[in-house]
């Protein structure tokens, strides 16, 4: 079988910690032949560590896209560049894995969807949390109807103090937003996927700029103090999403909030037959899945920590980044849909965009 030839665009944190090591483990399926970063040394270092012996290095992504050898690109650049690079990649005939969030506005995401549809190529977004064992187990249970009708969901992405103080995370122009778009996006993606409900009717939201620029708030940050003079994005955000079928989703996201429990890429689901919670994040030593229901007239709770061997993806227990890359590459090779579908991630972006708009305009945003 011919291996897929991958080009990496943006050789920073997520490329070095997820994409490149995961792809390297799947070297029977793909090889990394091209690397681009606006900082030349970063592309060179990535090529030396992960590339084929004759891997090419670029500082302009357009030159990488002109390389006909490249079949697939992984876009790992800051949020506001996702639209431009994705649209250009589809025009150049590449399959695209773009990092989350799909885009920082619904308008940008719409352009990406249009370009994808025109191209006939494959498209996915880097929501690796869908590949965690307990997440897959809960998804199976939701599909089997174990929870009944899920009419209330909560998407949790709340950190007490874990402001990313590197790169451009605090820069509004480059990221488009703060914790809502950065980590709220994962929690909302999971919640919508569990509920299998992609039809929002309206969104109300509030964002706060309270702690980010407060000098005394920077103490105790997980990665050391951030520069409060450069903090431009929100530090917490909250939203209510009414779905067309009457269901409700609450979303909470923060990098800094005076709260005890830090819960991230987590969800709470309330159904007519049972409820379930995924607990993950800094307050929890292990990721947990807890069901609650009534059994024999008693309220019972069942706490599970699945280790793998679930129905999806060959039953293999492997880190979510590798499972994500394996499913993506296999989908291309076998010409079937990726698990993380562009239309689903478009709805995530539309809702997040509407939370920001609602907060700005001080009113409910009607999407439906
Ligand atoms: N899936 C996840 O859980 C997860 C985690 C972290 C980051 N991310 C996402 O990954 C993206 C990058 O985040 P990061 O933490 O790796 O940031 P980073 O700052 O560490 O890396 C980004 C890299 O892109 C390069 N770059 C910037 N503009 C470029 C351009 N036009 N062309 C080529 N290279 C360019 C930068 O020089 C830098 O090396 C963001 O969209 C972020 O939301 C996802």
78: Cβ below 6 Å to ligand 1? yes
CB atoms within 10 A of CB 39: 12
Q: Buried (b) or exposed (e) across 329-339, using 16+ Cβ within 10 A?
A: bebbeeeeebb
Strands 72-75 and 95-98: parallel
Distance 13 CA to ligand 1 centre (A): 6
Full DSSP string of 303-351: EE---S--SSGGG----HHHHHHHHHHHHHHHT---SS-HHHHHHHHHH
290 lines ligand 1 (CB under 6 A): no
Judged by DSSP in three states, 70 sits in coil
Strand partners for 333: none
Residue pLDDT, tens place only, 4-27: 999 999 999 999 999 999 999 999
Residue 28 DSSP class: T
CA-closest residue to ligand 1 atom 25: 10
Q: Is the Cβ atom of 10 under 6 angstroms away from ligand 1?
A: yes
**What pLDDT shows up at residue 306?**
60
Q: What pLDDT is recorded for position 286?
A: 82
pLDDT tens sequence across 274-328: 999 999 999 888 888 999 999 999 999 998 866 554 433 444 568 899 999 999 9
111-114: long-range pairs with CB below 8 Å, 24+: 111/83, 111/87, 112/82, 112/83, 112/86, 112/87, 112/342, 113/342, 113/343, 113/346
Report which ligand 1 atom has the smallest distance to the Cα of 82: 41
Q: Is the CB of residue 345 below 6 angstroms from any atom belonging to ligand 1?
A: no
Preceding peptide of 101 cis, ω within 30° = yes
What does the pLDDT look like over 349-360, one tens digit per residue? 999 999 999 999
Per-residue model confidence as pLDDT tens digits over 171-187? 999 899 999 999 999 99
Q: Is 88 in the pocket of ligand 1 (CB under 6 A)?
A: no
> 304: Cβ–Cβ under 8 A, 6 or more apart, which residues?
134, 137, 288, 289, 290, 291
> Which two structure tokens, joined as six digits, stand for 210?
């309270």
Planar angle of CA 118, 100, 85, nearest 5 degrees: 45
Domains for the chain: give ranges and CATH numbers: 4-129+320-347 (3.40.50.720), 130-313+349-366 (3.30.360.10)
175 C-alpha to ligand 1 centroid (Å): 10
- Distance, in Å, from the CA atom of 6 to the CA atom of 51, rounded to the nearest integer, reads 9
137 token code pair: 């187990």
**Lowest mean pLDDT, pick from 22-36, 128-142, 304-318:** 304-318
Spacing, Cα 260 to ligand 1 middle (Å) = 30
Q: What's the CA gap between 18 and 108, in Å, rounded?
A: 25
Nearest atom (ligand 1) to Cα of 11: 39
Q: Is 76 in the pocket of ligand 1 (CB under 6 A)?
A: yes
Residue 298 Cα, ligand 1 centroid: separation in angstroms?
A: 49
CB of 237 within 6 A of ligand 1: the answer is no
Q: Give the atom of ligand 1 at the shortest distance from the alpha carbon of 39.
A: 37
Mean of per-residue pLDDT scores for the chain:
95
**Bridge partners, 75 (sequence order):** 9, 98
Site of tokens 């919670």: 277
């Amino acid at each position: 079988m011919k291996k897929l030839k991958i080009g990496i665009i943006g050789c920073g944190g997520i490329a070095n910690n997820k994409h490149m090591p995961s792809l390297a483990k799947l070297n029977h399926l793909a090889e990394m032949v091209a690397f681009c970063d606006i900082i030349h040394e970063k592309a060179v270092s990535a090529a030396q560590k992960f590339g084929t012996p004759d891997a090419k290095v670029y500082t302009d992504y357009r030159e990488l896209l002109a390389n006909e050898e490249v079949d697939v690109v992984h876009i790992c650049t800051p949020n506001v560049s996702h639209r431009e690079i994705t649209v250009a990649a589809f025009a150049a005939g590449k399959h695209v894995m773009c990092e989350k969030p799909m885009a920082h506005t619904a308008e940008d995401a719409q352009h990406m969807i249009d370009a994808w549809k025109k191209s006939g190529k494959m498209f996915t977004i880097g929501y690796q949390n869908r590949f965690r064992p307990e997440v897959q187990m809960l998804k199976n249970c939701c599909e089997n109807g174990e929870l009944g009708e899920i009419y209330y969901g909560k998407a949790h992405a709340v950190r007490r103090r874990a402001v990313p103080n590197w790169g451009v995370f605090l820069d509004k122009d480059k990221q488009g937003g703060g914790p809502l778009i950065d980590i709220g996006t994962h929690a909302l993606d999971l919640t919508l996927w569990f509920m299998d409900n992609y039809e929002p009717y309206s969104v109300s939201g509030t964002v706060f700029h309270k702690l980010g620029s407060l000098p005394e708030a920077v103490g105790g940050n997980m990665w050391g103090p951030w520069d409060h003079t450069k903090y431009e994005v929100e530090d917490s955000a909250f939203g209510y999403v009414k779905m067309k079928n009457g269901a409700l989703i609450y979303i909470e996201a923060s990098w800094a909030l005076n709260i005890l429990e830090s819960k991230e890429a987590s969800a709470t689901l309330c159904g007519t037959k049972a409820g379930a919670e995924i607990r993950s994040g800094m307050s929890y030593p292990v990721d947990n899945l807890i069901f609650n229901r009534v059994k024999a007239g008693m309220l019972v709770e069942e706490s599970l920590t699945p280790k793998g061997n679930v129905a999806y993806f060959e039953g293999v227990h492997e880190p979510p980044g590798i499972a994500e890359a394996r499913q993506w590459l296999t989908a291309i090779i076998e010409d079937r849909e990726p698990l993380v579908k562009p239309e689903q991630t478009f709805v995530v972006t539309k809702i997040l965009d509407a939370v920001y708009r609602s907060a700005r305009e001080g009113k409910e945003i009607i999407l439906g």
